[in-house]
Copies of this chain bind each other. A is one copy, B any other.
Amino acid sequence: MEQSGPETAQRPTVSSVAAHAGVSRQTVSNALNNPERLQPETLKRVLTAIEETGYVRSAAARQMRTARSGVIAYRLDPVRDGIGGAVLDTFLHALTAEAERRDYRVVLYTADSDEAELRQFSSLTQARAADAFVLVGTHRNDLRYRWLSEHGIPFSVFGRPWPEEGTTAAEPAHAWIDVDGAAGTAQAARHLLDLGHRNIAFVGWPAGSETGDERRRGWDEAMAAAGVGAAERRPLDSEQQDGILEGADAAARLLAGGATAFVCASDSLAVGAFSAVRAAGARAAVVGFDDSPTAAALGLSSIRQPLDDAAAWALASVLDQLDGRAPRERDARLLLPRLVVRESSQPPASATR
């Protein structure tokens, strides 16, 4: 498998491998791209020659002929928040790993505005340096989807599409995948209900963000389903910016109001809530969102997004588009997150009804 000395031999090419195996260029090419066209015996001989010479296809030559780069582009944003940021990191890692598995590669680019990103789209595709894009995050009046669609460039999005202004909120034309946040917080709430809690507070973001509203809804619906009335739920709800301190403040307030457990919209809030609980010497349970490494380190229960699945789907989708296959069917519109139970919501606290 190893190759000879530093600069001794020329880099092997299809032709040199062909000579080595006693066949023609094209046969070597076929061995790699259409093995079924070769006689088993010939195939084996060629593969052996490839092995022996340590041959690897030149990406450039290949791209040139096939007009495909085998590259997916991903926009790397500046680091924002320490705890929540890990989600996209994990997604990117999963995307890279999945791409490797399918013989693709991931290149990074940066952009600090939609316009800058469109320029990147343009130059990356014009240069044939990338075949497709995987986008994360979405905002209102996002210019990117339309631009990519109009230019016929394959892409998929991790994150729900916002209904475009003026559009009847019909099915969006593009491929996207997302996680069902409501299902996550509902699951967390039910878990805490099962432990005997009833005064389960929600430590959430200010109303208005889609993600935040959805997470609140999951908690709210689960509580309602468990027979906790609207009047009882209202004082258990809270809104604040994301952050550890904000979470701590909110939790302290809610604790004073009689809350015995917390479902949080993020791990940042949950870390804060958790520390407030400990500071107050209370035994209230806390569940976070995103299962960040911080949560794991602190023993904080948290809702884990299936990022591997999301990345795999996002990649599979763009590859389908590239290969002209029909759009991938999905049984559910949204992926289901999974609650990871740790000490912060274990062992069952004594019910406080």
**Measured between C-beta atoms, what is the minimum distance from A95 to chain B in Å?**
9
CB-contact partner of A110 in B57, B79, B93, B128, under 8 A: B93
Task: Determine if A106 and B105 form an interchain contact, defined as CB atoms under 8 angstroms apart.
Answer: no
A41 at the interface (CB under 8 A from B): no
Task: Determine if A56 and B126 form an interchain contact, defined as CB atoms under 8 angstroms apart.
Answer: yes
Task: Determine if B96 and A100 form an interchain contact, defined as CB atoms under 8 angstroms apart.
Answer: no
B contact residues around A127 at 8 Å (CB): 56-59
A297 at the interface (CB under 8 A from B): yes
**Measured between C-beta atoms, what is the minimum distance from A63 to chain B in Å?**
4
Central interface residue in A60, A243, A297, by most chain B CB within 10 Å: A60
A340 at the interface (CB under 8 A from B): no
A332 at the interface (CB under 8 A from B): no
A129 at the interface (CB under 8 A from B): yes
Task: Determine if A59 and B69 form an interchain contact, defined as CB atoms under 8 angstroms apart.
Answer: yes
Central interface residue in A80, A97, A126, by most chain B CB within 10 Å: A126
B contact residues around A267 at 8 Å (CB): 82
Task: Determine if A6 and B243 form an interchain contact, defined as CB atoms under 8 angstroms apart.
Answer: no
A245 at the interface (CB under 8 A from B): yes
Task: Determine if B82 and A293 form an interchain contact, defined as CB atoms under 8 angstroms apart.
Answer: yes
**Measured between C-beta atoms, what is the minimum distance from A64 to chain B in Å?**
4
Stretch at the interface among A32-40, A84-92, A164-172, A322-330: A84-92
Task: Determine if B96 and A110 form an interchain contact, defined as CB atoms under 8 angstroms apart.
Answer: yes
Give Cα A46 to B85, complex, Å. Answer: 45
Task: Determine if B64 and A60 form an interchain contact, defined as CB atoms under 8 angstroms apart.
Answer: yes
Q: Would you give the 0/1 interface string for A292-321, flagging 1 where the beta carbon is closer than 8 Å to chain B?
A: 111101100000000000000000000000
B contact residues around A298 at 8 Å (CB): 244-245
A3 at the interface (CB under 8 A from B): yes
Give Cα A329 to B69, complex, Å. Answer: 36
- Give the contacts of A50-79 with B (CB-CB under 8 A): 54-61, 63-64, 69, 71, 76-79
Task: Determine if B106 and A100 form an interchain contact, defined as CB atoms under 8 angstroms apart.
Answer: no
Central interface residue in A56, A89, A267, by most chain B CB within 10 Å: A89
Chain A interface size, as a band, is 35 or more
**Measured between C-beta atoms, what is the minimum distance from A52 to chain B in Å?**
14
Give Cα A105 to B124, complex, Å. Answer: 10
Given contacts A109-B96, A275-B275, contact A82 B292 (CB under 8 A): yes
**Measured between C-beta atoms, what is the minimum distance from A254 to chain B in Å?**
19
Task: Determine if A79 and B71 form an interchain contact, defined as CB atoms under 8 angstroms apart.
Answer: no
Task: Determine if A82 and B83 form an interchain contact, defined as CB atoms under 8 angstroms apart.
Answer: yes
Q: Would you give the 0/1 interface string for A96-131, flagging 1 where the beta carbon is closer than 8 Å to chain B?
A: 110010000111111000000000001100111100
21 A–B contacts, CB within 8 A, in A order: A6-B152, A11-B126, A54-B122, A58-B127, A59-B63, A59-B127, A59-B128, A60-B61, A60-B69, A61-B64, A63-B63, A76-B93, A78-B90, A79-B90, A79-B93, A81-B297, A96-B110, A106-B108, A107-B108, A268-B297, A275-B275
Q: A55-B126, A58-B128, A79-B93 are in contact. List 12 more A-B contacts (CB 8 A).
A: A6-B151, A59-B128, A59-B129, A60-B128, A81-B293, A82-B83, A82-B297, A85-B293, A96-B110, A105-B107, A107-B107, A108-B108
